[in-house]
Chains A and B, each alone.
Chain A
Amino acid sequence: MNFDFSDDQKSLKDQARKFLSDKAGAKVTRRVLDDGGASYDQSLWRAVAEMGWLGAAIPEQHGGLGLGRLELCVLAEELGRALAPIPFSSTAYFFAEALMLAGSEAQKTALLPKVAAGEVIGCFASSEGPGAPTPSSMQAKFDGAKLNGAKVPVTDGDCASHAVVVAKEGAGVSLVLVDLNQSGVMRATLKTLDPSRGHAKLEFKNAKAERIGAAGQGWELAESVLDRAAVLIAFEQVGGSQACLEMATEYAKSRYAFSRPIGSFQAIKHKLADMYVAIEVARSNAYYGAWALSTEAGELGFAAAASRAAASDAYYMCAKENIQTHGGMGFTWEVDCHLYFRRAKLLALQAGSPAVWKEKLVKRLERRNVA
């Protein structure tokens, strides 16, 4: 039994934590949050690119470090913990994963080295409005060369240079690659619950686009990309949840009420113990997701859904109870609780809502039982 990260992976995690405690954290997140115009922190983005993290899972032949998904998982946990205000997930978990999964050699050669270098910011555009997107709900249309339609919201769509778009092609669905810096693409920034990350509505009018993977395979590919991203986002969620628990625990030890630390009251203890249990459940499921992702196991679908369902619920719980533990201070702008509360909601929705993943989990278990 070796169900843990290796010593090398753990030391990468320690390095990442040290690096981010210096270069990132709530102060840096607030720079983006408080600046209405900024969509991400450029200096942190450059620093992360220089560390090679964007290319951690990209093979060396395509300009990456050629490490693996497990290394990307430990980085994700630390980025989540640090509330990093950069388009890392859109670029590394969605865009790069889509290219590595289904991109042509030419597409990979052209874009992956730039992703690794931080020169390309990618995003993933699927949603077109309220509700979970489905193959039949897709309105965006690709005709083999041009893309028409609108995607809303697109996380990091305001700062991305490229997008992977899920669009209808004929009777089926295809995945298409679009350079966003062209006249056929209009962007409108969106106001969201988490302003520390950029969001946009993207409109395509005869935008030049090319297919990723085969025509009609787009929905299956999109689901595969989502499974991969789900595991990686789950690690960000676990990192954020852990940060909330630590913040609440520290506060409960130092805040006095009725002449004693509030952490000595069982009402607070039990709340924090519940958070701890939820995090350990989420972490254990996420580790399984990491194993499935790194070994390309057939279990990935089930493991990804379990990772994501557990982590989304854990982060929501930890973020809201962190506010509650802080009392009135937790409801002020100056205390950082709300940053996690905001990010928890973004991460719970970015790759599909908890309800969608819970349904996927049951469906995949039914399928596994039949097989």
Chain B
Amino acid sequence: MDFNDTPDEAAFRAEARAFLEAHCKPKVAEKDRMNRSLRGVDYLKAAKAYQKKKAEAGFAGITWAKEHGGRGLPPIFSVIFGQEEAKFDAPSAPFAIGLGMCLPTLIAFASEAIKQRYVAKALSGEEVWCQLFSEPGAGSDVAASKTKAVKEGDDWIVNGQKVWTTGAHFSDFGILLVRTNPDVEKHKGLTMFIVDMNAPGVDVRPIHQASGGSDFNEVYFTDVRIADDHRLGDPGQGWGVALVTLMNERLAVGGSPGPDYREIMNFARSAASPTGEGTLLQNEAFRQKLADWIVRAEGYKLAKFRTMTALSKGQAPGPESSIGKVINANQMMDISNAAIEALDHYGIIDDPALAPIDGAFHQSYMFAPGLRIAGGTDEILKNILAERVLGLPQDQRADKGIAFKDLPSGR
């Protein structure tokens, strides 16, 4: 057992480090990172410029095949680059979904001509992609998508609404899951398309989140025309295509945003104990909770090391890599809540000028509920763990053998 890179990994890490030092600023404080909205035009410009440099230096599409402009390296190298990149203020966020999820799907299902058209421009950051799956009536049950496409000559006409689309407002293209046949079972009537986000009839509107910010969008489609050669997979095979997209989500794991046990420990050194004696860090009940947070955060970090070990040996990562989602959002919730409650009545103040660490605990408190839902709710992820890892039977479904159009939808 050791935590060392292989010689190849070490060389790659050094190369990555040199690139990042040349092209990125040092990491910014947590509060600045959280405060920076993805809506800023300057941020997107900087991100595109950075992505271009990455592509030129061979750090875009590290695991992609060379024929698609990638470097053809095993997944461990992508993880290593990600580790190093996380130590800098690297504006990579706008490309996470496109390059992490959309383009691998496109590469798997598109024709050669379509790949020629889109892959290189995505990799170089010239064109940004988003993923249009969730709908108001299709969240956890995303296969219940109602947005429909109807064939008209060589084109498809799309009508409906998607929601929670990250980055839709700055994306050039998206992959879009729609219903093309409501007369068959739910999972069998879906089809995946590439959609031009600037096409007539596409209307992107920001969502005003409970946390106050606007990081996501609603996207409305009114008679949007898509050429048939922009279809990914056969009509009716959209669910299988979507699963490929969602599989790719698994490797795109990062740490949880927001304050963790280190921040609350620092805070607790000077905060008063609720007993009125000594500091919060001297309070026995707090220390016991702190230990639980340490154990979970370290356990998650070390589980990722086990995943890296498997990748480094060229093996498939074990299921331990999927525990992060269930741990991190709840931990972020609990830590921010504990810090706020420790302030007693004063804890209600979230003004960054008055609240501890510039209001980061308060921001985290308001954002954590969203993280427990985003990317699959905790409940759905537990279902996935139970079914795919433990092999438990699927829940009894009320939609088997029934045409989609005849399913009860509640409203």
By a beta-carbon cutoff of 8 Å, the part of chain A in contact with chain B is 1-6, 70, 245, 249, 252-253, 260-261, 263-266, 268-270, 272-274, 276-277, 280-285, 287-288, 290-291, 294-295, 305-306, 309-310, 313, 355, 357-359, 361-362, 365-366, 369
Contact = CB atoms under 8 A, between A and B. Distances in A.
Contact of B303 (A2, A245, A280, A290): A280
Interface of B: 1-5, 9, 76, 265, 281, 284, 287-288, 290-292, 294-296, 298-303, 305-306, 308-310, 312, 320, 323, 326-327, 379, 381-383, 385-387, 389-396
Nearest to A2: B2
Nearest to B321: A280
Given A264-B394, A358-B292, A362-B291, A284 B386 contact: no
Given A284-B320, A291-B1, A249 B390 contact: yes
Contacts of B327: 277, 281
A1 B308 contact: yes
B320 A362 contact: no
A282 B302 CA distance: 10
B302 to A, nearest CB: 4
A249 B388 CA distance: 12
A277 B326 contact: yes
A269 B312 contact: no
Given A1-B305, A2-B4, A290-B1, A361 B392 contact: no
B298 A285 contact: yes
B396 A264 contact: yes
Contacts, number: 158
B309 A1 contact: yes
B403 to A, nearest CB: 24
13 contacts: A3-B305, A3-B308, A253-B392, A261-B392, A277-B323, A281-B295, A284-B301, A284-B305, A291-B1, A310-B295, A313-B292, A362-B287, A369-B265
A306 B298 contact: yes
Contact of A280 (B3, B5, B320, B382): B320
B387 to A, nearest CB: 7
Contacts of A361: 291, 294-295
B293 to A, nearest CB: 10
B294 A269 contact: no
A270 B302 CA distance: 23
Nearest to B2: A2
Nearest to A276: B385
A2 B1 contact: yes
Contacts of A291: 1-3
Given A249-B390, A249-B392, 12 more contacts: A1-B312, A249-B391, A272-B392, A281-B303, A285-B295, A285-B299, A287-B302, A294-B1, A306-B298, A357-B291, A362-B290, A362-B294
A19 B32 CA distance: 57
B323 A281 contact: yes
A355 B294 contact: no
Contacts of A287: 1, 302, 306
A313 B396 CA distance: 32
A263 B393 contact: yes
A309 B297 CA distance: 13
Contact of A273 (B1, B300, B301, B390): B390
B306 A273 contact: no
A270 B393 contact: no
A365 B308 CA distance: 25
Nearest to A4: B309
A355 B288 contact: yes
A121 to B, nearest CB: 30
A2 B309 contact: yes
Given A70-B1, A273-B382, A261 B312 contact: no
B13 to A, nearest CB: 11
A273 B295 contact: no
Contact of B387 (A269, A288, A306, A365): A269
Contacts of A245: 390
Given A272-B386, A277-B385, A5 B1 contact: yes
Contacts of A366: 281
Contacts of B287: 358-359, 362
B5 A274 contact: no
Contacts of A309: 291-292, 295
Given A359-B291, A362-B290, A252 B320 contact: no
A270 B308 contact: no
Interface centre among B284, B295, B326 (most CB of A within 10 A): B295
Nearest to A360: B291
A265 B396 CA distance: 8
Contacts of B1: 2-6, 70, 287, 290-291, 294-295
Complex A-B, nearest 10 residue pairs according to Cβ-Cβ distance, in ascending order: A281-B299, A358-B291, A269-B386, A284-B302, A273-B382, A263-B392, A273-B385, A3-B305, A284-B303, A1-B308
A253 B393 contact: yes
B221 to A, nearest CB: 33
A306 B327 CA distance: 16
Contacts of B379: 266, 270
Nearest to A288: B302
